[in-house]
Structure 1
Amino acid sequence: MPDRATLGDVSSSSAALADYRAALTSPGALVPALASALARLPIAMTTLAVLLYVQRVTGSYAVAAVVSAGTLAGESLGAVAQGRWMDRTGPTRPLLLAAGLYALAGAGLVLAIESGAALPLLVGAAALSGLVRPAMPGASRSLWARLVPAGPRRDAAYSYEAISLETFFILGPALAAFLVTAPWPGTALVVAIAGMVIGTTIFALSRPVRTQRPSAGGPSIGMLGALRPPGMRTVTLASLGFGLVIGSVEVGVNAVATEQGSPTLGGVLLSAWSVASVVAGVLYSLRPWPRPLHLRMPSLLAAFAACVTAMALVGPLASLPVLVVAMLAAGALITPQVTAHSLGVEATAPAGTSTEAFGWVVTAAVLGISSGQVLAGLAVDTAGAASSFLVGGVAGGIVAAALWWRRGTLAPRPAEHLTAA
């Protein structure tokens, strides 16, 4: 397990542009990086595709948010289970099995929506599809620890993971919103499922992934597994708060677009949000602030929550341009948080649990997103679109305060080892 001296080194590092180039041109990195990109693009599409698809069929944002949250709830369980399995056996077999099951479960979800199934059946089908969705974020990020040596280049690789995912959030929401307006609104979901299955299969069969062996030190034992260190639990809490804010914004922005009479506007606004994230992510990685990780996580989440709260206060229908400005400011804080989560996992996860640890971070994020979507969906139906931003801002602020209270679990102290919180 990393000591606090190691944690301090990781939390204060930065990456130069040359480190990005060196990481991406590492031997064996090209094929899995491209396949991972194809598999992770649907991540940005699926939630919105399900949300808009169900809303078109049922006419209710609350029902659509519950079904979409079911997808994320299932994924939150599957990500950890798949991550622990990959740490024990390597990623190829788990990913191939998950890809096959996901194709079947995705088809079942589409049939359930098309047949006008009852809400419990819709939620069950959505949860099953999420449960077997390939855990590509954790598998992709953990592979960099094998391809790139520790230091600025690995930090650049993790930053690339966050930045590339945000690039997909530029393309994904816009593509999903566009495809949902096609003659058949299920087109977006089918495209997302196909991309995930094809990309995962290519990734799993690439040579660096096929030859990947279980991590040194062996997998963790017990129910908590990778969550045993208190610092790892703090990182997971940060990811939860991040997801709460993201989920509320996804619902709120699309509700604003509907009120404006332009359903595709939601995808455009979310894409612009992600553009700000990508640009800011590259610049921020050159010199992150605050540099110590134990100060960075609560500060970034607090600022993120404040910007989203401002989106509610300006009143989107009366001043849409002001809403866009506040939204871009919030977007600039997305990639820095995701990168900080990766660095936190690198510093705190027990040996031999890297994929499971990333799975916990993904689980926390999707649980936060699903909860944020449900709360925001209820708020939109009862108090209008702007209320969803207020829900996300308040929730994010509460978690940021909890992170500040737990900041000592990430504070660098030489020669001390992590102890139970």
Structure 2
Amino acid sequence: MSPSTALADYRAALTAPGALVPALASALARLPIAMTTLAVLLYVQRTTGSYAVAAVVSAGTLAGESLGAVAQGRWMDRTGPMRPLLLTAALYAVAATGLVLAIEADAAVPLLVGAAAVSGLVRPAMPGASRALWARLVPAGPRRDAAYSYEAISLETFFILGPALAAFLVTAPWPGTALAVAVAGMVTGTTVFALSRPVRTQAPSEGGPSIGVLGALAGRGMRTVAIASLGFGLVIGAVEVGVNAVATEQGSPTLGGVLLSAWSVASVVAGIAYSLRPWPRPLHLRMPFLLAAFALCVAAMALVGPLASLPVLVVAMLAAGALITPQVTAHSLGVEATASAGTATEAFGWIVTAAVLGISAGQVAAGVAVDVAGAASSFLVGGVAGAVVAAVLWVRRGTLAPARQLVEA
């Protein structure tokens, strides 16, 4: 196949027979993903007056999501996606309502965290379901690569729009408005996606259900892809903490949001450009290279402060942002190349879970570093963590060698 993806391949993928309705529905369902965590955080903070409580409750949603993505993915592989998606959409509506009632009732923190975790657990695993569907809608080759790149680019776009929309809606007279809108979008989009013809007629994955506790992670190559996603999350989590800490030190807390939005924009633009001529071409070399370059750029962000000025942070951050979407796309290609038959949706769930766990761990490590050594140290933490994982990927590159057929000419 061609080593690059042409713009015509994006058009061909999105206009493939049966692709339009699920693509639009998936977009509606995935936009709220980036809204929910911030919506819960701001809602709880405005209700309780405590950022600490809000952060713990918000983390509960991430913990639930990290478990639910894998469990739901395995379920979809066993039965097909329609019934699991419809059921989880209904359960999510109930669980989210329960969370709202608990917040409004000023419930104890453990109850709030539990309600948040349950809502995360049953939140429909739309990213995995959407990405897995493309394997049925378009043939292997540049068009499928374009479809996976579209998934990464669109999700990154939603991570630009989602938080901004949540921050705007939380100023409404009722602070739960942002969460209510996010839930409505998720439930509606998931329902329409599940009832679309390609999804309704999608049979269980060939190869039978996953076997064993590890399921899709039983393969060495799939574990390598999950490690790559974990390393990616570690760096992202450290940057999210560090940027906001630096902005606070600079006396402009809103600067953090501006910078994070800017690097998301850089990710989208660079993701399209990179897909036209990716390098390195072989996936088993591409993954460690991209993560290592990502880690280096983030470590360079630590030069802000005593050693350099704020522009250094901005330049390094934009360079790092340009490497986000190419990594997410590479993870999708890695799943297609390494996941065992019958485990595609679960495998994508593992990638989401690994990234969420990485982001959480990166945020904790960076938070400790900020308290001990200042804001800029968080970037060193992220850079070192990413470099270590990139070295692990290099050692394990042989487990991805068969994936070269996906990206080499």
TM-score (norm 2): 0.91
Q: 2:56: which partner in 1?
A: 66
CA distance in 1, matches of 2:179, 2:369: 25
Of the candidates 165, 173, 183, which is equivalent to residue 163 of structure 2? 173
Please say if residues 338 and 403 of structure 2, whose CA atoms lie closer than 8 Å, have aligned partners that are also in contact: no
Question: Corresponding residue for 2:325?
Answer: 335
Q: Pick from 318, 334, 337 the counterpart of residue 344 of structure 1.
A: 334
CA drift at 1:316? 10
Contact 2:275 2:326 in 1 (8 A): yes
Which stretch of structure 1 is more off in the superposition, 102-111 or 229-238? 102-111
CA distance in 1, matches of 2:343, 2:96: 29
Q: Which deviates more from structure 2 when the two are superposed, residues 56-65 or residues 264-273?
A: 56-65
Write the deviation string for residues 120-168 of structure 1: whole angstroms up to 9, x where unpaired.
3332222111111100001000110111011111111111111111111
Report if the CA contact (8 A) 2:282-2:404 is conserved.
no
- Partner SS state of residue 411, structure 1: helix
Asked if 1:29 corresponds to 2:19, the answer is: yes
Tell me what 1:6 maps to: none
Distance 1:310 1:109, change over 3 A: farther
Deviation, 1:404, is 1.5
Structure-2 change in CA distance of 1:308 and 1:50 (3 Å): farther
Q: State the AA in 2 paired with 1:227.
A: L
1:227 alignment partner, one of 217, 223, 235: 217
Name which structure has the greater RCO, CA cutoff 8 Å, separation 6+.
Answer: 1
Shift of the 187–384 alpha-carbon distance from structure 1 to 2, 3 Å rule, reads farther
Greater mean deviation of Cα atoms: 316-325 or 211-220: 316-325
Match of 2:152 among 158, 162, 165: 162
Contact 2:57 2:112 in 1 (8 A): yes
- Partner Cα distance (1:108, 1:27) in 2: 39
Contact 2:303 2:312 in 1 (8 A): no
User: In the alignment, which residue of structure 1 is the partner of 2:388?
Assistant: 398
Partner of 2:92: 102
332-341 or 312-321, larger mean C-alpha shift = 312-321
Asked whether the 8 Å contact 2:283–2:404 carries over to 1, the reply is no
Note closer, same or farther for the CA distance 1:281–1:271 as it changes in structure 2 (3 Å cut): same
Aligned to 2:142: 152
Greater alpha carbon shift after TM alignment, 40-49 vs 103-112? 103-112
Residues 78 and 292 of structure 1: CA distance in aligned 2, closer, same or farther (over 3 Å): same
Q: CA deviation at 1:67?
A: 3.0
Q: CA deviation at 1:232?
A: 0.4
Report the Cα distance in structure 2 between the residues aligned to 1:61 and 1:331, rounded to whole angstroms.
28
Between 233-242 and 179-188, report the one with greater CA deviation. 179-188
Matched residues in 2 for 1:313 and 1:121: separation? 42
Name the aligned partner's letter for residue 234 of structure 1.
Answer: T
**Counterpart residue number, 1:13:** 3
| Residue type of the alignment partner of 1:376 | A
Instruction: Return the alpha-carbon distance in structure 1 between the equivalents of residues 49 and 324 of structure 2.
Output: 31
Residues in 1 aligned to 2:315 and 2:347: alpha-carbon distance in whole angstroms? 35
- Segments of structure 1 that go 5 or more residues without pairing to the other structure are 1-8, 416-421
Q: Point out where structure 2 has 5 or more consecutive residues left out of the alignment.
A: none
> For the Cα contact (< 8 Å) 1:61–1:377, is it kept in 2?
no
Q: What does residue 125 of structure 2 align with?
A: 135
Question: Contact (CA 8 Å) 2:284, 2:403: kept in 1 or not?
Answer: no
8 Å contact kept, 1:169–1:270: no
Matched, 1:200 2:181: no
Aligned in 2, Cα 1:113/1:164: closer, same or farther, shift over 3 Å?
same
Deviates more, 1:179-188 or 1:353-362: 179-188
CA distance, structure 2, for counterparts of residue 237 and residue 264 of structure 1: 33
Percent identity reads: 88
Residue 312 of structure 1: aligned partner: 302
Instruction: Report the Cα distance in structure 1 between the residues aligned to 2:311 and 2:164, rounded to whole angstroms.
Output: 19
Q: Deviations over 1:68-100 (max 9, x none)?
A: 332112111111111111111111111111111
Q: Is the 8 A contact 1:68 1:370 kept in 2?
A: no
- Secondary structure class of the residue paired with 1:213: coil
Partner of 2:363: 373
Could you tell which deviates more after superposition, 106-115 or 86-95? 106-115
User: How far apart, CA to CA, are the structure 1 residues paired with 2:359 and 2:306?
Assistant: 22
Distance 1:270 1:342, change over 3 A: same
Question: In structure 2, do the counterparts of structure 1 residues 212 and 316 end up closer, same or farther at CA, with 3 Å as the change threshold?
Answer: farther
TM-superposed deviation, 1:342: 0.4
RMSD, aligned α-carbons: 2.6
Partner of 2:259: 269
User: Secondary structure at the residue paired with 1:410?
Assistant: helix
Q: Which moved further from structure 2: 400-409 or 353-362?
A: 400-409
1:21-57 superposed Cα distances (whole Å, 9 cap, x missing partner): 1100001100100010011111122223334444555
How far apart are the structure 1 equivalents of 2:59 and 2:198?
34
1:293 aligns with 2:293: no
Question: Aligned AA for 1:390?
Answer: L
Give 3-state SS (helix, strand or coil) of 1:27's partner: coil
Shift of 1:264: 4.5
Taking a change above 3 Å as real, the CA distance of residues 100 and 413 of structure 1, as seen in their structure-2 partners, is closer
Q: 1:143 to 1:338 in 2, by over 3 A?
A: same
Tell me the amino acid that sits aligned with residue 348 of structure 2.
F
**Aligned 8 A contact 2:283 2:403 in 1:** no
The match for 1:89 is 79
- 1:117 to partner: Cα distance: 3.8
Comparing 369-378 with 209-218, greater Cα deviation is found at 369-378
Counterpart CA distance in 2 for 1:191 and 1:98 is: 18
